[in-house]
A and B are shown apart, each in its own frame.
Chain A
Amino acid sequence: MKPFDYQRATDADSAIATVSRDPEARYIGGGTNLVDHMKLGITEPGKLVDITRLPYDSVESLPDGRVRIGATVRNSDLAAEPVIRQRYPVLAQALLSGASGQLRNLATTGGNLLQRTRCSYFQDVTTPCNKREPGSGCSALEGWNRHHAVLGASERCVATHPSDMAVALAALDADVLVAGPDGQRTVPVTELHRLPGDEPEQDTVLRHGELVTAVELPSLPLAARSRYRKVRDRASYAFALVSVAAAVEVTDGYITDARIAFGGLAHKPWRATAAERALHGAPATEEAFRAAADAELAEAETLRDNEFKVPMTRNTLASVLRELTQQEGS
């Protein structure tokens, strides 16, 4: 690990100024991903600015029904918030399915969004990786790609985004509040992460020095009956092979609204708009659920080891929708 400077930020403006000025400076929250990267030699920041003492550590219910989650709220605390558990169960379930209890106690909302892929080749500096070292090649493309993308990938990168929380936020149409040297802006969470294209090294649309300060959840009554289903190789502490975040509204046996996002399939949390369109106005039947999945997966391109993700996604979406609509009917 390369030697580095460390300072603890006491106010946001100076933290942003410090990092913006120094291309080698990075923010650090819970450190559950960045510190690993420093140990593995994936990144070698010259300076760390610790933002965990900034006043972003609370969950607020806003007068208009929205909920604002501070960027430094810990994943385990957020999952336990009554307002999240009651109004956005999909988010609480996603948080609790991520990592381990120890990691959730440290990981933060902002950091969770910005965590990087766990692609084994990205994490191993002795193998080529375009995301880590642009232009060096993608080892996963012809290598072990069981966990890799089937939607939205490019020849340059087939990595998947690892976050569970972000998948739930994508289904909920959450906004990300960002502060930077030029002021504040709001980025829909579905537009925060990029597809790899020709620049897989760019995970998000954030510029250097920009700081995530909060996530805002819209007022969304149908989210009160929502579900996160994560399919993985073991029962806990594993990244998703496939995950589904979903909320649906059913009236008289027909689907009137559906919010669906997939995890484990793409370089970003995948908002399944084609599936949503297919479900809108459709009867709440197994056939409709599977047709919706197929609509979304029509563009899927599989690799040597991940063909299974297509049927697994179809089945998992059908299973989740079945459960949600049966629950609705009862």
Chain B
Amino acid sequence: MTGATRATSQGPERVEGRAKVTGTAPYAFEYPVTDPLYLHPLRSGIARGRIASIDTAAAERVDGVHTVLTHHNADALNPIGDPELAVLQSDGIDFRGQLVGAVVAETPEIAAHAAGLVDIRYERLPHDSEFRDDANIVYTPDADASPMLAPDLERGDVDAALAEATHTVDVTYTTPPEHHNPIEPHAVIATWDDDGLTLHDSNQGSHLVRDLLAPLVGLDKERISVIAPHVGGAFGSKGMPHGHVALTVLAARRTAGRPVKCALSRTQMFELVGYRPPTRQRVRLGADSEGRLTATEHDSLEQTSRFKQYAEQSASASREMYASPNRRVTNRLAALDVPAPTWMRAPGEASGMYALESAVDELAVRAGIDPIELRVRNEPEVAPVSGLPFSSRNLVACLRQGAERFGWQDRDPRPGTRREGDWLVGTGVAAASFPSLLFPGSLATIRHESGGKYRVEIGAADIGTGARTALTQLAAEGLEVPFEAVELRLGSTEQPNAGLAGGSAGTASWGSTVVDAVRAFRAEHGSDPAAGVETTAGAADNPDLGKYAMNAYGAQFAEVRVHADTGEVRVPRMLGVFAAGRIVNPRTAHSQFLGGMTMGISMALHEHSVVDGRFGHVVNHDLAGYHIAGNADVGSIEVSWVEEHDPHVNSVGAKGIGEVGIVGTAAAIGNAAHHATGVRVRDLPLTPDKFLR
């Protein structure tokens, strides 16, 4: 890291930092339990059809095998509308790698060995697993089934505006499937006893897991405990429980109280815990001679699975980003015989803003206008579609400050003209935006222990973001006590209900809950409370919800070098400048932005799950084949943010920061690669072969 990264050393260190770096913080699989058994999943070898027969005799004969579970002997689960959780309920096969059984044994090795001895025969049906131009079933997603859905948008006359525009671009971008690969794989320990069910589970929200599983297995919520003190990353893949959790729960029902441990392998995770769906996006922009947009059209086709719809609306990135009197935005889905996609860091925005911000760069090149200037000229006064005022919008400040810090003013706009040794050098910029969300329904308990010590409990999840630390800070600040006087407990259904660690809404949602609960505590117990008193309260309703458009913004700058002979692409330098409301903890916030940008480099240069349509599986399903940016791929990343006071978003004034860091990064890198080479690559990732001459 070079440069004066702003305020990185400020803010308390992570509360659990020492435990994590010394290896004493327990993750889900490591939780100490007595006499556990180990589960190895059985997975489908075909993409569509049914199981004709499944012979478990050889596996059952292996010493140390406790149970072989299949759809023949698994308990019934109640239908709750999530086909992913309805494991072993029928002989049907909806995708390759689907869970079709489990071996439970005394050791993981025995379970894996025995799993290989189960003989499964299939009746195959034709399948279609390859996302293509002519993908077989294209449809408009169902609004009821997709909370992230925005319906098609048609404003003005896009076709007429395009016909009259001085400058136009009409370009199609594609993004591949990408898989979350958090450091901690998905893992769960399930234990049934007379009191009910206990799960040690790596997740983004223990209450959500509990609330979904309770009806599935027919237990009262109170009889299920879900515990996740530390979570080693998720990126959205742990937002909803996946099939392996239900499978482990089913298996543990047969072990007379012995815990059952299940940790998915990397390869299994490529089929069982979701992914970012591939997209094909056509963007048409029209502008007048000054570069002011007169027409914006963004049509996106994304993959979903036939057995479970997921829609993330990548084209929606173009709804409110820039002023444009004429606008058409459509999102379509292609349903395939594949695993279900799910949220992956900035779902929709990461893919959609890649296409939009690349197309804007193409427009700037065509119009001969500096890409920053072009964006500034298209700043909307109010949110263009809803007409709402922005609670705060400092995109222009991000672009201007970033330009100054990055040295943009010296840039020669001509592409393919700078060379240093064997390397072609270019720079690029892109804007970033991510909605500032607030998940309602969280509660926090504030308890005065004694002597000015407080315990704060909220069932939030710290998936590595620093939530535990930021919430401790906010509680200490509200209580007007030292940071060390607050003990914060989270990560479990033993604590009050809390919303998901997703949508970058954690600090905003839980933080305002803690802040408002502290206020309620003081109102009830005063400034000198007795030992043992406590208050449980939620956040007050935000009166400004629905009255303002609320988003975090950013500007991403990249320097890219492309080897003139080999096409290798390097990113020696990046800068991100963000406007994200109040930054509660500069130290952990810096890490979040840095991580998002690193993941953006990875998205731009490397990540690509390759599907083999014949089998319906991801071919490169391990970390040797699926490339993620490594240390050597990441040069200097500088992060800073503009001062922003936003009284409308929530009582903390914080906007989400986890996801806005990835948005725009891939476009900035693609734009810089074009500037370096004159070659415009419109299909991620930017691999060396695409720049070869």
Contacts and interface: CB of A to CB of B under 8 A. Distances in A.
A127 B615 contact: yes
Given A2-B113, A127-B615, A315 B566 contact: yes
B441 interface: no
B620 A312 contact: no
B620 A120 contact: yes
A311 B689 CA distance: 9
Contacts of B113: 1-3
B176 to A, nearest CB: 12
A238 B565 contact: no
A160 to B, nearest CB: 14
Given A120-B625, A144-B619, A144-B620, A312 B632 contact: no
Interface in A1-23: 1-3
- In the complex, which range does the number of interface residues on chain A fall in? 20 to 34
Contacts of A234: 605-606, 627, 629-630, 632-633
A126 interface: yes
Contacts of B606: 233-234
Contacts of A308: 688-689, 692
Interface string B629-668: 1111100000000000000000000000000000000000
Contact of A236 (B45, B605, B631, B693): B631
Given A121-B619, A143-B614, A143-B619, A312 B627 contact: no
Contacts of A142: 614
Given A126-B45, A312-B688, A236 B112 contact: no
Interface in B453-496: none
Given A2-B113, A144-B610, A233-B627, A241 B688 contact: yes
Contacts of A298: none
A318 interface: yes
A1 B565 contact: no
B612 interface: yes
Contacts of A232: 568
Nearest to A308: B689
Task: Tell me what chain B mostly uses at the interface: helix, strand, loop, or mixed.
Answer: loop
A235 B633 contact: yes
Nearest to B635: A235
Interface in B548-582: 565-568, 570
Given A41-B116, A319-B566, A235 B687 contact: no
Contacts of A236: 630-633
B624 interface: yes
B566 A118 contact: no
B82 interface: no
Given A120-B625, A121-B619, A235 B692 contact: no
B109 interface: yes
B422 A319 contact: yes
A228 to B, nearest CB: 14
Interface string A48-77: 000000000000000000000000000000
Contacts of A315: 565-566, 692
B630 A237 contact: yes
Interface in A113-169: 118, 120-121, 123-124, 126-127, 139, 142-144, 146
22 contacts: A1-B109, A120-B621, A126-B45, A126-B615, A127-B615, A143-B619, A146-B610, A231-B566, A233-B605, A233-B606, A233-B688, A234-B627, A234-B629, A235-B570, A236-B633, A237-B632, A308-B692, A316-B565, A318-B565, A319-B422, A319-B565, A319-B566
Interface of B: 45, 109, 112-113, 116, 422, 565-568, 570, 605-606, 610, 612, 614-615, 617, 619-622, 624-625, 627, 629-633, 687-689, 692-693
Interface of A: 1-3, 41, 118, 120-121, 123-124, 126-127, 139, 142-144, 146, 231-239, 241-242, 308, 311-312, 315-316, 318-319
